[in-house]
Structure 1
Amino acid sequence: MTPFGFRDTVPVDTGTVFVAFTDRRLDLGDLAPDEVRAAGLAEVAAATAATPCLMRQVHGTTVHVVEAPYDDLPDADALVTDRTGVALLARAADCVPVLLVARTGHVGAAHAGREGVRQGVVPAAVARLRDLGAEDVRAWIGPHVCGRCYEVPAEMRADIAADVPATAATTSWGTPSLDLGAGVRAQLTDAGVPHVEVGGCTLEDDTLHSYRRDGAAAGRLAGVVWRVA
């Protein structure tokens, strides 16, 4: 059985890239029991024939360039590489996981939460890829909480929307909310990056992990990207 609820194949100049998203069957979060997370990562490793690379996600804009597998997780919210043999993971449970693929074979994975969207972690990852020589970057936007569900105080909506206007939204019951996915889509469009939406709302879909729905008991899904030469 595949560990992925979604998987796509992307031909590139230097081989083939795969983009995928896990679902609730795996818990890849830092708060998962060690044996649960290890089993999930083992499934990802077997499915990708690559070493999973995680990051200690801190809701910032740091982009870490992966040169080889590592044990010490970097404090970052995006990973990029031009290497094979590694699978980049961005984990989330309502935040927006974004996978990036360039025609030149460069790949990236970004975790865009409220602050990450405001500060521009996804544009930062795109810029870093281009610094590395990436051309014709595309994006896959993974499952995340939607604007119809992500209720926030009016002051918070105004604060985030002041920096990223596309995030301003209203819940289905008429209260202030944020649409982080819309913010990411706007940022990708501004950066000249075409994008594909994958999956649905994490809160509404009980096959996905959601912190808003499950609180501290929520696990973490992951966007996974890797290249095969």
Structure 2
Amino acid sequence: MRIRRVVTTRAGGRSKPPFDSFNLGDHVGDDPDAVAANRRRLATELGLPENRLAWMEQVHGRTVTVVDGTESEPAEATDALVTSTPGVALVALVADCVPVLLGDPEAGVVAAVHAGRVGARVGVVPAALEVMVSQGARPERVEALLGPAVCGDCYEVPGPMAEDVEAHLPGSACKSRKGTPALDLRAGLWNQLADLGVGRIGVDPRCTMEDETLFSHRRSAPTGRIAAVTWMEQ
């Protein structure tokens, strides 16, 4: 089974500032017609019917929802989607949080995870992997991509917060470029995935706060959302 992965940028859409222009989030205050047009373009560019894109009502939790493409609405109150249905594209929306795309090409199971500070701390990624295993995946065959997110140099947080996240997600605490307490969630998630036995882990090194081709809530709220998408080709 061939697994596809795509990460969008903010260019090429219909949204007006401050959501310019390829905003895919429908919960940020953007014109609903512009968001709908952007989502239609995403489906077209992926070569998939619009109704084969699966969306989430992301809430910074650890709930995982299994979908098969028959759903007409976004999955309620969930931060990870799993499917074993070819041609169903799973979408995670971010603007500093870490999008995590997982796939076992042999079992034919993929997942898209929205892992912000809270979700990463409470274990949304292990929860998604557990559901994938229940669908036939094996950790050693899983390929993971940690997408663009705010980097440790930029993600300043209070010291007690960094310590708390580090206690739940070892390897995530760091120092910012200014020498202040910070978090590198991708580093913590890389360690977590490795400890879970995931065989291949890739990292998109782009920092959403530094790279103005991406949306960043910390840089310029309100703002739009980019998408990390994964699916299996039919």
Q: TM-score, normalised by structure 1?
A: 0.90
- 1:78 lines up with 2:84 in the alignment: no
Partner Cα separation in structure 2 for residue 69 and residue 175 of structure 1:
47
2:70 match: 69
Q: 1:144-163, CA deviations, whole angstroms, 9 ceiling, x for partnerless residues?
A: 00000000111111111121
- 1:207 lines up with 2:210 in the alignment: no
Partner Cα separation in structure 2 for residue 178 and residue 101 of structure 1:
26
Matches within 5 A, 1:61-210: 61-74=62-75, 75-103=77-105, 104-135=107-138, 136-193=141-198, 194-210=200-216
Q: 1:7-35, CA deviations, whole angstroms, 9 ceiling, x for partnerless residues?
A: xxxxx3xxx22101001122011223211
Given the alignment, which residue of 23, 33, 36 partners 1:35?
33
Q: Which has the higher mean CA deviation after the structures are superposed, 219-228 or 28-37? A: 28-37
- Compared with structure 1, are the counterparts of its residues 69 and 45 closer, same or farther at alpha carbon in structure 2 (3 Å cutoff)? farther
Shift of 1:72: 2.6
User: Identity over aligned residues, as a percent?
Assistant: 44
Q: Which amino acid in structure 2 is aligned with residue 39 of structure 1?
A: A
Q: 8 Å contact 2:68–2:88 — kept in the other structure?
A: no
Shift of 1:226: 1.1
Shift of 1:73: 2.0
Aligned-partner SS, 2:221: helix
Any unmatched runs of 5+ in structure 2?
12-21
1:222 match: 227
CA RMSD, 1 decimal: 1.2
Shift of 1:199: 4.4
Q: 1:18-66, CA deviations, whole angstroms, 9 ceiling, x for partnerless residues?
A: 1010011220112232112111211121122142111000111100000
Shift of 1:186: 1.0
2:9 match: 23
Q: 8 Å contact 2:171–2:191 — kept in the other structure?
A: yes
Q: TM-score, normalised by structure 2?
A: 0.88
Shift of 1:68: 2.3
Shift of 1:71: 2.6
Shift of 1:191: 1.1
Write 1 or 2 for the structure with the bigger share of strand: 1
Q: Which runs of 4+ in 1 moved over 6 A?
A: none
Q: 8 Å contact 2:54–2:69 — kept in the other structure?
A: no
Shift of 1:117: 0.8
Q: Which amino acid in structure 2 is aligned with residue 28 of structure 1?
A: L
Q: Which amino acid in structure 1 is aligned with residue 23 of structure 2?
A: D
2:15 match: none
Aligned-partner SS, 1:202: coil
Any unmatched runs of 5+ in structure 1?
1-11
Aligned-partner SS, 1:116: helix
